[in-house]
Amino acid sequence: MKHTISILVENKFGVLTRIAGLFSAKGYNIESISVGPTEDPTISRMTIVTNGDDDQIEQIIKQLNKLIDILKVVDLTNEPFVERELALIKVKVNSYTRSDVIEISDIFRAKVVDIGPTTLTVEVTGRSDKITAMINMLAPYGIVELARTGVVALKREFKGEVYDSKEIKAIKRKAKQAQKNTTSNDEKTK
Amino acid sequence: MEKAKHNLNKDFYGKNLSGIEIFVRSLIEENVEVVFGCPGNAVLGIFDALMEIAGNSIKIIFSRHEAGAVLSASGYARATGKPGVLIVSSGPGASNVVTGIADANMDSIPLVVFTAQVPTKLIGNETFQEVDIVGITRPITKHNFLVTKISELMETIKSAFYIATTGRPGPVLVDLPRDVMSEKFIFNYPDSVNLRGYNPVYSAHAGQIKRAAEIINNSSRPVIIAGGGVIASNASGELRELVRKINAPITTTLMGQGTYPEDDPLSLGMLGMHGTWYANMAVNESDCIIAIGSRFDERITGDTTKFAPNAKKIHIDIDPASISKNVKVDVPIVGDVKDALKKLIPLVKTLNTEEWLQKIKKWKIEHPIKYQQSKEIKVQYVIEKLRELTGGNAILVTDVGQFQMWTAQFFKFLYPRTHITSGGLGTMGFSLPASIGVATAVKDRPVISLNGNRGVQMNIQEIATISAYNLPIKILIFNDGHIDITRQWQELHWKRTFDEILIDKACPDFMKIAEAYGIQSFRVETTYDVEPILKKALALRDKPVIIEFKTAYEENVYPYIPPGGSVKDIIEH
């Protein structure tokens, strides 16, 4: 199963190798890895997407936690999280296909960031699967070059109100009642 | 500014000192007593300052090879529990210590390894005697550092000692570029470390302890498995208390030998591949396994799916990553073994294990570990004689091979830190250099280095170190003309093609080697001579001695569970 792991690390040289080395030493593949400084310049956030069964992921997280330069490891997979990836895609175009490519880009809310006589470069952000979908759509035109950043992710902060199960039932009941009322009102107006 | 923690340093706090001097004064602050190492171009300044400044307070042991030096530091750490300190040169000096570091890493031995490095400006330029030792040792150290600024030196040394000795101990490497060591900085050794990513858990969780106690109190066939973690945590006393309180039989791993006296009726000796029949059987039939400071290495479990199938498993370990790594456990307890046992003992009750112990007693009578005595010398006999002549009051430093297993089976260790051996990595060439470290630290017990004919040749140059420092090590060489345990595997698993492992023809004359190094030696060729020669050698208390035993040609270690097998595959004889 695919797991997205968010790691806070000391912003020091060699930390990335330590983490990548841990994965390779255990024979686990990293699907994507992205890293950059956080609001605290001494700390960097690393987002790693990897595959593995529950036991493997448990081992990965335990082993990561053992590294001295790692401050925090969170497996985001089983909780709500925001995930984004950025890609730059350079597509082959000619006067006939240029507008098609721009149209596709619009649908994916991508931005054209560079244009040449035979190519068009678009910038797209979103979930990894959205980016893959866009790449698949553009592939028939001919992709000249492609750069993906890998996933960055953050845990979602819950902003709503908290209800217990009784309250939820009551809300549902009220909603049903309201719906009934509107339908009967509609019937009345008819 | 003036802290004066150590008398030798009291006049130097707040003074502007060179990196080299700061380094030496930092070792003094860390109460380092012995430093192992090899001189080399890049470290001469450090050794020079060490002798000048620390003179009488830090002893220096110069080895003949860095590969030996690191194992000597490891032997020192294993015998004392204090960190072994090693200083080596850059380039080949550093790369030569790789095996010893990996060895310490596998056995959780606290080492602080200082390597010299070319000046920071030249790093990465393929400079003469440059090697990326931090890169090379990243996967085999607990942590490592490259000091790039003089301002980081003291903090790094403090952190290195702290990381090596706390939590699950392990080797830490510090790489010291030459220019950093010649710069100047104000000496002010820190009191504490600042490592926000490193917080080992010492205190065991009370709830988990309670759950463990419930399982133990409801069991009728408990077995305790004690590993090297008990020794690392100095918890042998607590372990003995637990065993006696619950009346449970106890078995140990190779690394855990000596944590409980093996001549006690509750002791089952060692378990696993070459463990006793009854230890393996007891684990197999147990209803409650209490594993303490052991990581369930495959040498003790064999096929993990068939390991102790009917037992509830409790696992105490300071390293959370060790828990449920190899064997799924029912109650994990993360924390220091000593702390966990102290909390657990009051909660457990005295169990009625009479029936279980009777069964084990019967097994011990029916399936003892034994060997066939003959005119040809059997290593098992030599070990038994050693036990008899020393009363178990010796430190045995074993190399890797059949005699290592026979030592584990027949010596019946009484005290922790008396079987010094390379458990996890199985490093051949371990014993000679490790015994140097042990003999440097231990004065009141005979230190005996047990070797095979091949392993002894892997660090044979260290006989010179033993001779130079006149360390009273008794070096035993068991020579069966083969590479012993490899031959056994050839016989049992392959086609008996022994050509490659017959080393009789090119085997050196160990008596002449002893003579060349200026050490007294004996050769023993019959069983009859074993006892008198051992007595003679042990009587030479203040001198090293080499004894070569011409041992039986094709003797195998039994019991034997083939790799990946289970207790059902056990071969008894």
**Interface predicted TM-score of the whole assembly (ipTM), two decimals:** 0.87
| Closest A-chain CA to B168 | A66
Query: Inter-chain contact A25–B325, Cβ cutoff 8 Å?
Result: no
Q: How far is B364 from chain A (nearest CA, A)?
A: 38
Helix (H) or strand (E) holding B159: helix B153-165
- Distance from the Cα of A41 to chain B's closest Cα (Å) equals 15
Q: Is the pTM of this model over 0.80?
A: yes
Nearest by CB: A68 against B134, B198, B325: B198
Alpha helices in B169-256 (DSSP H): 178-182, 206-217, 228-232, 236-246
Of the residues B106, B120, B138, the best mutation for testing chain A's interface (the one with the most A CB atoms within 10 Å of its CB) is B138
Pairing of strands B250-252, B222-226: parallel
Tokens linked to B166: 């706390």
Q: Is B283 helix (H, G, I), strand (E, B) or coil?
A: helix
Find chain A residues with C-beta within 8 A of B324's C-beta. Answer: 55, 58
DSSP state of B560: B
Query: How confident is the model over B225-259, as pLDDT tens digits?
Result: 999 999 999 999 999 999 999 999 999 999 999 99
Q: B325 and A10: CB-CB below 8 Å?
A: no
User: In which residue ranges of chain B is pLDDT below 70?
Assistant: 1-4, 482-485, 495-505
| Kind of pairing between the strands at A119-126 and A81-92 | antiparallel
A39 CB-near residues (< 8 Å, 6+ apart): none
A69–B321 C-beta distance less than 8 A: no
* A17 Cβ under 8 Å from any chain B Cβ: yes
The pair of three-digit structure tokens given for residue B200, joined into one six-digit string: 């080992």
Token pair for residue A172?
């549902």
Asked whether the predicted pLDDT for residue A78 surpasses 80, the reply is yes
CB within 8 Å of chain A, chain B residues 320-359: 320-321, 324-325
Taking only residues 162 to 221 of chain B, the set having a beta carbon closer than 8 angstroms to any beta carbon of chain A reads 163, 195-198
Probe site for chain A from B106, B148, B325 (most A CB atoms < 10 A): B325
Looking at beta carbons, which residues of chain B come within 8 Å of A68? 142-143, 163, 195, 197-198
Query: Residue B485: its pLDDT value, please?
Result: 67
CB of B345 within 8 A of CB of A79?
A: no
| Least Cα separation, residue B197 to chain A (angstroms) | 4
Tokens of B465: 């170190």
Spatial separation of the C-alpha atoms in residues B512 and B529, rounded to whole Å: 20
> For position B1, what pLDDT does the model report?
45
Pairing outcome for strands A70-75 and A43-51: unpaired
For residues A178 and A165, what is the distance between their CA atoms, to the nearest angstrom?
20
Q: How far is A3 from chain B (nearest CA, A)?
A: 19
| Amino acid sitting at position A53 | D
Cβ contact B142–A17 (<8 Å): no
The residue in chain A having the minimum alpha-carbon distance to the alpha carbon of residue B327 is A55
Give the distance from residue B54's alpha carbon to the nearest chain A alpha carbon, in angstroms.
Answer: 31
Using pLDDT thresholds of 50, 70 and 90, give the confidence band for residue A188.
Answer: low
On the question of pLDDT at A184 being above 90, the answer is no
Any B CB within 8 A of A42 CB = no
Centre a 10 Å sphere on the Cβ of residue B188 and count the other Cβ atoms it contains.
Answer: 15
Q: Does A56 touch chain B (CB under 8 A)?
A: no
Tokens of B234: 């100095």
Q: Which residue of B has its CA nearest to A60?
A: B321
Pairing of the two strands B222-226 and B184-186: unpaired
A21 touches chain B (CB under 8 A): yes
How sure is the predictor about A163, in pLDDT bands with cuts at 50, 70 and 90? Answer: confident
H or E stretch at A33: strand A30-37
Cβ–Cβ < 8 Å for B517, B467: yes
Chain-chain contact of B139 with A21 (C-beta, under 8 angstroms): yes
State the Cα–Cα distance between residues B183 and B119, nearest whole angstrom: 11
Chain A, nearest residue to B141 by Cα: A67
pLDDT the model gives residue B496:
64
- Residues of chain A neighbouring B138 (CB-CB closer than 8 A): 14, 17-18, 21
DSSP for residue B551: B
Classify residue B242 by burial, with Cβ atoms within 10 Å: 0-12, 13-18, 19+.
Answer: buried
Task: State the smallest CA–CA distance between residue A73 and chain B in angstroms.
Answer: 11
User: What is the mean pLDDT of the segment spanning A109-134?
Assistant: 96
Distance CA B269, CA B550 (A): 27
Q: Residue A52: is it exposed, middle or buried by C-beta count within 10 angstroms (0-12/13-18/19+)?
A: middle
Q: Which residues of A touch B139 (CB under 8 A)?
A: 21-22, 25
Question: What phi, psi does B85 have (nearest 5°)?
Answer: -110, 130
CB < 8 Å to B146, chain A: 14
Output the pLDDT for position A27: 86
Contacts of A22 in chain B (CB under 8 A): 139
Q: Above 90 in pLDDT, residue A170?
A: no
The verdict on A69 touching B (C-beta cutoff 8 Å) is yes
